[in-house]
Amino acid sequence: MLFQAVFRRVLIGIVTLLVVSIIIFIGTSLLPGDVAEIILGQMATPESLAALRIKLGMDHPPHIRYLMWLGDLLTGDLGMSKAGSGAGTIGTEISVMIAPRLMNTLRLSGMVAIISIPMAMMLGLLASMYPGSRIDRIITFSTLSIISVPDFLVAMILVMIFAVQLGWLPSIAYMSGNETGWQLIRALLMPTLTLVTIVSAQIIRMTRATILNIMSSPYIEMAILKGVPRKRIILRHSLLNTIGPIVNVIALNMAWLIGGVVIVETVFAYPGLAKLMIDGVQTRDLPLVQACAMIFCATYVVLILIADMASIISNPRLRHPK
């Protein structure tokens, strides 16, 4: 039964990704101008364009082209970017452009995850342990403020404090690629700090809400009536039942990190994947935007899938779909 339920979710995930790829393909093929024009650039004549289009398989109808694009994507061929394409020269290969950027983004989000998940869960637990107390009110109010202001404001306030007033850290995170050890950490510190603040606020709120929700269920009431001390109720009765929902919360927030990364990489000029995509949007480099969007959406869908599976595994009732 468990296997079936998990299989069902994986299938839904794959279908979702296919739909996402269709949406992205349609969205980006609306634009006038195609790869043939990009490759030929100034040297385009109607004859050479037509010849190249046939060579690239662009004379096929849209659904065939979509399948071809999808096939390339699945075999790791992300296509050619407009960047660097001039008179007669073919643009840069996207996979070459993406690889180092993806590493940078993964490094950043990995650091954020390592720091924020344990910290945020502790704080969320703390807040839910004493609801209505002063510490809970402080935590609730500050997290509400953090999630309701723009991400870039959080980034700017941190820059104001740590880079301008105290002068401890650089205000941009430029990396040439040969930084080692301390330099690397220094460059990463500000973006990490910003994302940790934003993501932690989300996790804290959701952890607190989840635990309080479970605390209002009948079996906890029973434990209270039995006279079990509050700490023991949380640690022994409710914590195990919150693991599923909390893994869910964490996966959702890691997925949400994608949006935050876009802003934070821009503020700190951090050379990650999101920054590459924004540059692609600004120069209307569609193959590049397609590839980046697919990577981000795939990450998102996979994370949501993990969240789903965590809740299935932790809650046997979800194993039997109605």
CB of 43 to another protein, least distance (A): 25
For residue 50, what are its two tokens? 């037509």
Give the gyration radius of the chain's Cα atoms: 24
With vertex at residue 108, the alpha carbon angle to CA 105 and CA 113, rounded to the nearest 5 degrees, is 120
Phi and psi at 52, nearest 5°, equal: -65, -35
Closest CA to 263 of 123, 116, 119, 158: 158
Please identify, using beta-carbon distances, which residue of 45 and 282 lies nearer to another protein.
Answer: 282
Please identify, using beta-carbon distances, which residue of 228 and 256 lies nearer to another protein.
Answer: 256
CB of 163 to another protein, least distance (A): 7
Residue environment code for 75-110, b if the CB has 16+ CB neighbours within 10 A, otherwise e: eeebbbbbbebeeeeebeebeebbeebbebbeebbe
CB of 44 to another protein, least distance (A): 22
With vertex at residue 185, the alpha carbon angle to CA 180 and CA 188, rounded to the nearest 5 degrees, is 120
Is residue 190 within 8 A of residue 171, CB to CB? The reply is yes
Contacts 24+ apart (CB under 8 A), 69-75: 69/25, 69/290, 70/21, 70/25, 73/21, 73/291, 73/294
Please identify, using beta-carbon distances, which residue of 118 and 131 lies nearer to another protein.
Answer: 131
Please identify, using beta-carbon distances, which residue of 40 and 155 lies nearer to another protein.
Answer: 155
Please identify, using beta-carbon distances, which residue of 103 and 160 lies nearer to another protein.
Answer: 160
CB of 286 to another protein, least distance (A): 6
Please identify, using beta-carbon distances, which residue of 233 and 301 lies nearer to another protein.
Answer: 301
Which residues of the chain form contacts with another protein (CB under 8 A)? 16, 19-20, 23-24, 27-28, 30-31, 144-145, 148-153, 156-157, 159-160, 163-165, 171-172, 209, 255-256, 258-259, 262-263, 266-267, 277-278, 280-282, 284, 286, 289-290, 293, 296-297, 300-301, 304
